Amino acid sequence: MAEKPFEGVGQAEEAGYADDLRHFRWRNHGPEEWAGLLLLWVLGGLVFTQFFTRYVLNDSLAWTEEVARYLLVVLTFIGAAGAVRRGTHIRVEALEMAMPARARPALWAVQDALRLGFWAFGAWISFDLADRMGVMPMDSLDHSLAWVYWPVFIGFVLMTLREIQWVWRRWRHGDAPAAQDVLA
């Protein structure tokens, strides 16, 4: 097969396997990514504390496991907004690569519509769910599950907004998805 440009390497470096800090900038990270970082560390601290208390105090705190699960849910949907911002959600590009360059903008328009449609669908449904979950109690804590579903709603809203940003840019500049810089 013909030699391909090294599109994969950029991804691998994005994925964190290039351990140099040359391209690292604090301001390149959006608020949703900062929220994700915070969630990761709180989550890590919580799981570690649970493990630690079980051995040292011989008494594990019952609520830690449940809260850790909820935090993972929130991390998923808030972090997914960060991935929309960076355009790194995993997808298959086989058809796109096989298509003639002239036909690609049409495919991109379809993709844009589908992505935007799905995130907006998620926002709409999760709003409804969060609203109903106000009466559903958590297992071990005296709060309602709405505390888990409202952040999911926020995550979907952020995904929708970031996607609108992408689509807006593409319509203005007509770029390929990969040819764009990460949204500032």
Partner 1 sequence: MTAAILLLGFLALMALGVPVAIALAGAGVVFALVDGSIPLLAIVHRMVGGVDSFPLLCVPFFIFAGMLMNSSGITERIYDFAVAAVGWMRGGLGQVNVVGSVVFAGMSGTAVGDAAGLGTIEVRAMRAHGYDPKFAVGITAASSMLGPLLPPSLPLVVYGVSANASIGQLFAAGIVPGLLVAFCLMGMVRWYAVRHGYGADAQFRLYEMGRTLARGILPLLTPVLIIGGMRAGLFTPTEGAICAVAWALLLGVIVYRTLGFKAVAKVSFETVEVTATILLIVAASEVFGWMLTTTRASEQVVGWVLAITEEKWLILLLANIFLLVVGLAIEPLPAILILTPIMLPVMESIGVDPVHFGLIMVLNLCIGLLTPPVGIVLFILARVGGISFEDAAKGVLPFMVPLVGVLLLCTYVPGVVMWLPSLWYR
Nearer to partner 1, 89 or 143 (CB): 89
Residues 6+ apart with CB under 8 A from 80: 89, 155, 159
SS3 at position 49: helix
Count Cβ atoms below 10 Å from residue 149 Cβ, excluding itself: 24
SS3 at position 174: coil
Nearer to partner 1, 2 or 184 (CB): 2
User: How far apart are CB 6 and partner 1 at their closest, in Å?
Assistant: 5
Which of 108, 78, 129, 110 has the alpha carbon at shortest distance from 175? 108
Measure the CA–CA gap between 122 and 157, rounded to whole angstroms.
8
User: How far apart are CB 172 and partner 1 at their closest, in Å?
Assistant: 22
Nearer to partner 1, 111 or 144 (CB): 111
The answer to whether 148 touches 73, Cβ cutoff 8 Å, is: yes
User: How far apart are CB 51 and partner 1 at their closest, in Å?
Assistant: 5
User: How far apart are CB 38 and partner 1 at their closest, in Å?
Assistant: 9
Nearer to partner 1, 99 or 174 (CB): 99
